């Protein structure tokens, strides 16, 4: 098809690289997300000493960042539309950098909490702005891979935070160990700031503001010969109405299904229990019979590295096998991992085996999450909403994701106390099964589709409409 041909093969390697580099720079926002959520696991012990924390204050120290992230997700959609993706990311880089330094020098616990909430606002905003930014500059054939840069960066951020925590716990540079742990986030913050200064705004944001010349210039710089075609397609999708989308519009009859998919995946991504592993892995290992804290922390670091490496599977296959294959196989893998994990705690013989079974079960689980729900949720939340509702749509899914992250994290220990480890993990397995059915029945395959084709899919009552070969434009039908 002429349209498809035009979107492949005409780009020079130089221009391709610039898309990769630009996406990698924006993905630093994801690295900060991963680092700033992961760092608390190792810092906790030292914060308790410095501020003499009660168990409740300890919970507050862990979860306040998630409250900030929820606020960030709410603000992000609007700010992202008004200022543009680039300026929003520059602002976030400043917030992350100052936040990191000020947190490190918090004189009191209250001050610390306020700063963690502020950094959380940055994390929640970045989580929705970064995928939108990348999806809007990426050519459709490699969009999946590029958006997954963000999840890769999140997992690297988490793994690095485990290692940095270990490092500063031993060599605190003459400070209290938790201080350099938090301050270290200023480095990716500065890199994000500098990188975004030299990165372009997205053509789709320019177009949504009627700035077609700017849109053309950006497309010229990153997509070469595709410029005219891309402009026509973007134009057809948004020319009818270039005002900003509102939350209410997400509930309009046909678009509502996109919201159901975005928000449903957001909730299920958390209800399969991923962050009980990310935040509490050392505790899980200890209660599964691992003898020492050091061995538990080491096992946790292994989980962190496996998380990063398995995200690479998604990176290589998402644009070839598609989103659905990854999601469906990942859900099956997670269910298997969680069922085994429950059994480890249920059958005394297995538990006596120590770390071996627990580590094996957690690794099956993490690998399966890391190539499916982890990256694919963020990817779909950035690509399934129509251009003018994309920011607010992604922000809504992100908000729900943080809310459910918060709910799972604050209830995990109480659940274990109330029903025991086995039933807790089996409960997450039930959510894994719900996620499996949800993905099979409701999630569309967006591999290789233009963002505007995906928009037309919803508008046509969940049917794919082709690209008209003569005009090379798609005809979204705005029936609602």
Distance between CA 98 and CA 438 in Å, rounded? Answer: 41
**Cα separations (Å) of 250 from 70, 125, 267, 339?**
19, 19, 17, 37
Inter-residue contact 463 to 340 (CB < 8 Å): no
Q: At what angle do helices 274-287 and 355-370 cross, to 10 degrees?
A: 170
- Cross-strand bridge partners of residue 468: 473
Residue closer to ligand BGC, measured from CB, 218 or 269? 269
Residues 11-50 that bind ligand BGC (CB under 6 A): none
Assign 469 to helix, strand or coil: coil
- Cross-strand bridge partners of residue 473: 468
- Of 39-47, 93-101, 172-180, 268-276, the segment contacting ligand BGC by CB under 6 A is 268-276
Residue nearest ligand BGC (C-beta atom): 374
Residue 153: CB minimum distance to ligand BGC, A? 10
DSSP state of 322: -
Distance between CA 444 and CA 73 in Å, rounded? Answer: 24
Residue closer to ligand BGC, measured from CB, 205 or 377? 377
Asked if 154 is part of the footprint of ligand BGC (rule: CB under 6 A), the reply reads: yes
Residue closer to ligand BGC, measured from CB, 93 or 158? 158
Residue 76: CB minimum distance to ligand BGC, A? 15
Which of 31, 274, 284, 314 lies at the binding interface for ligand BGC (CB under 6 A)? 274
Asked if 161 is part of the footprint of ligand BGC (rule: CB under 6 A), the reply reads: no
Distance between CA 170 and CA 148 in Å, rounded? Answer: 33
DSSP state of 251: G
Residue 317: CB minimum distance to ligand BGC, A? 17
Asked if 307 is part of the footprint of ligand BGC (rule: CB under 6 A), the reply reads: yes
Which of 32, 61, 152, 278 lies at the binding interface for ligand BGC (CB under 6 A)? 278
Q: Which among 427, 477, 423, 433 has a CA at the least distance from the CA of 452?
A: 477
- Of 79-87, 154-162, 343-351, 440-448, the segment contacting ligand BGC by CB under 6 A is 154-162
Inter-residue contact 338 to 296 (CB < 8 Å): no
- Of 112-120, 178-186, 273-281, 434-442, the segment contacting ligand BGC by CB under 6 A is 273-281
Nearest 10 degrees: Cα torsion 89, 90, 93, 98: -140
Asked if 151 is part of the footprint of ligand BGC (rule: CB under 6 A), the reply reads: yes
- What is the phi-psi region of residue 224: left when phi exceeds 0, alpha when psi lies from -120 to 50, beta otherwise? left
Collect all residues with Cβ–Cβ distance below 8 Å to 20 and sequence separation of at least 6.
146
Assign 451 to helix, strand or coil: helix
Tokens of 353: 């085996």
- Of 108-116, 118-126, 149-157, 430-438, the segment contacting ligand BGC by CB under 6 A is 149-157
Residue 296: CB minimum distance to ligand BGC, A? 19
Which of 18, 63, 155, 199 lies at the binding interface for ligand BGC (CB under 6 A)? 155
Residue closer to ligand BGC, measured from CB, 233 or 362? 362
Residue closer to ligand BGC, measured from CB, 237 or 263? 263
Residue closer to ligand BGC, measured from CB, 369 or 385? 369
Burial class (CB in 10 A: 0-12, 13-18, 19+), 312: middle
Nearest 10 degrees: Cα torsion 3, 4, 9, 11: 60
- Of 91-99, 153-161, 189-197, 471-479, the segment contacting ligand BGC by CB under 6 A is 153-161
- Of 139-147, 164-172, 274-282, 340-348, the segment contacting ligand BGC by CB under 6 A is 274-282
Residue 228: CB minimum distance to ligand BGC, A? 36
Distance between CA 167 and CA 160 in Å, rounded? Answer: 10
Residues 357-376 that bind ligand BGC (CB under 6 A): 374
Asked if 409 is part of the footprint of ligand BGC (rule: CB under 6 A), the reply reads: no
Counting residues that bind ligand BGC (by CB under 6 A) gives 13
Asked if 266 is part of the footprint of ligand BGC (rule: CB under 6 A), the reply reads: no
Residues that bind ligand BGC (CB under 6 A): 151, 154-155, 158, 269, 274-275, 278, 307, 374, 378, 401, 405
């Amino acid at each position: 098809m002429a349209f498809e041909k035009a979107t492949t093969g005409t780009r020079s390697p130089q221009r391709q690289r610039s898309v990769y580099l630009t996406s990698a720079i924006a993905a630093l926002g994801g690295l900060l997300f991963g680092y700033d959520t992961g760092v608390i696991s190792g810092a906790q012990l030292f914060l308790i000493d410095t501020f003499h924390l009660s168990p409740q204050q300890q919970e507050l120290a862990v979860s306040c960042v998630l409250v900030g992230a929820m606020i960030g997700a709410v603000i992000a959609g609007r700010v992202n539309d008004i200022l543009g993706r680039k300026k929003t990311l520059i602002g976030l880089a400043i917030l992350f950098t100052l936040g990191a330094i000020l947190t490190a020098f918090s004189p009191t616990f209250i001050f610390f909490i306020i700063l963690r909430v502020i950094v959380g606002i940055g994390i929640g905003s970045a989580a929705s702005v970064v995928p939108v930014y990348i999806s809007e500059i990426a050519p459709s054939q490699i969009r999946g891979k590029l958006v997954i840069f963000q999840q890769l960066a999140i997992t690297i951020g988490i793994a690095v935070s485990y290692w940095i925590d270990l490092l500063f716990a031993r060599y605190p540079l003459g400070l209290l160990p938790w201080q350099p742990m938090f301050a270290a986030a200023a480095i990716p913050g500065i890199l994000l700031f500098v990188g975004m200064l030299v990165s372009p705004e997205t053509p789709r944001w320019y177009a949504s503001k009627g700035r077609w010349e700017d849109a053309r210039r950006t497309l010229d710089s990153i997509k070469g010969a595709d410029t005219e075609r891309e402009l026509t397609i973007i134009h057809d999708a948004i020319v009818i109405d270039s005002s900003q989308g509102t939350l209410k519009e997400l509930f309009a009859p046909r678009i509502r299904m996109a919201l159901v998919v975005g928000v449903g995946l957001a909730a299920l991504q958390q209800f399969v229990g991923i962050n009980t592993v990310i935040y509490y892995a050392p505790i899980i290992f200890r209660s599964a019979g691992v003898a020492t804290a050091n061995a538990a922390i080491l096992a946790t670091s292994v989980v962190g590295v496996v998380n990063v490496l398995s995200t690479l599977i998604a990176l290589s296959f998402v644009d070839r096998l598609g989103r659905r294959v990854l999601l469906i196989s990942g859900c099956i893998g997670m269910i298997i991992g969680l069922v085994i994990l429950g059994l480890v705690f249920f059958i005394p013989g297995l538990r006596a085996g120590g770390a071996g079974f627990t580590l094996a079960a957690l690794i099956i689980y993490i690998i399966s999450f890391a190539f499916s729900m982890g990256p694919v949720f963020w990817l779909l939340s950035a690509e399934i909403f129509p251009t003018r509702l994309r920011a607010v749509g992604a922000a809504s899914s992100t908000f729900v994701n943080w809310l459910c992250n918060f709910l799972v994290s604050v209830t995990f220990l109480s659940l274990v106390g109330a029903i025991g480890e086995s039933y807790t993990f089996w409960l997450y397995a039930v959510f894994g099964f719900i996620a499996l059915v949800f993905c099979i029945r409701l999630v569309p395959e967006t591999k290789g589709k233009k963002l505007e084709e995906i928009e037309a899919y919803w508008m046509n009552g969940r049917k794919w409409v082709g690209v008209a070969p003569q005009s090379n434009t798609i005809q979204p039908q705005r029936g609602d």
